[in-house]
Structure 1
């Protein structure tokens, strides 16, 4: 991972990742948004750091209770977290609601093509082995990015 610009590599199979990099980051961008990734991400931050999540609480609560109840409920939960983390950890907590955006994907592609965004691929699977790819990621046998190739 050092080839992608990382300053430090941690072997999560041999070290406790939370101890190895606790309090070392200025920002965490959580694209998963699960309670476990939030807890871990918050602890990785220095005081004064920024945590951004693409969490699914808004969508899940809106699906469950409808737009009129679900969205305000999700927003109140997120505002509570924002205040809580500011005082308990000295960090800023942010979230966003997203939609699919072809222009954004084109920008990401452009950055990748000119070498400004590097995504090293750890392993490639043919699409027929999609189950194997998921099992490899879920069991953490493949720590980096996995790509499925279409025929």
Structure 2
């Protein structure tokens, strides 16, 4: 796809420009779609979609967690996460159960099959880097900048409410 790439040191566009290629939101959208597409063949081998992979990453990192903590970690709402959990549970990769201490709380944890999938998934990050030609230092820099942008945008959204 012919997405323009700005040369280092070139101006970032005019303030207030309505040109599509000068919109930060569009560059982020295009990058997100392209990265997700690059993940697709890697995750198909695991039988996961990209959102399901994100759920499993949280569970592999934390083990048993609440649905509330999971939605917070993924920055998604319950209505988005609930169908993902249902499909992963049907696939035998996680279990959901009500907490014995508080029936309003639903606990989620990987099953033995879900834990076994982790071993196969360990090759995914490196395979993505190889497929995209991005090195570890560049990934670290991009990730840091994107988290900083996410924090600023969340702050702006909160102030706009």
What TM-score, normalized by structure 2, do the two folds share? 0.26
User: Which structure has more helix as a fraction of its residues?
Assistant: 2
Higher percent of residues as strand? 1
| Structure of higher CA gyration radius | 2
